[in-house]
Amino acid sequence: MKLHIEVTAEDIETGVREDSTCCCPIALALHRIGVEEVSVGDDTIVVYKNAGRFEAETPPEAALFVERFDGCQQVAPFSFDIELHEDEAYEEPEASP
């Protein structure tokens, strides 16, 4: 599954530093295109969607953005593409009663 992610000025303005699962600018951009749960790392972006777990290599420009954003450096809106691959070994946790 291929995704095009556009990180906007609003994502940057409202993003939270060092919050890779909820509120970093890249996570906000992914939420905006329908991804419910995400984890953005230096090496890997993990997406949970439709009861599945999908992974993609973090592109260099996105990893550099995260490093600069978390380091309180100037960043600008940008976009990038990722190719998500399903984690076949993933089993969705059972809901608590």
Domain coordinates in residue numbering, the chain: 2-86
Res. 95 pLDDT band, cuts 50 70 90: low
Residue 92, Cα to own-chain centre: how many angstroms? 19
CA distance 46 to 24: 14
Average pLDDT, integer, range 7-24:
93
pLDDT tens track for 61-92: 999 999 999 999 999 999 999 999 998 766 66
Nearest-10 Cα torsion for 18, 24, 27, 33: 180
Measured N-to-C along each axis, helices 60-70 and 25-32 cross at an angle, to the nearest 10 degrees, of 120
Res. 48 pLDDT band, cuts 50 70 90: confident
Bridge partners of 4, per DSSP, are 81
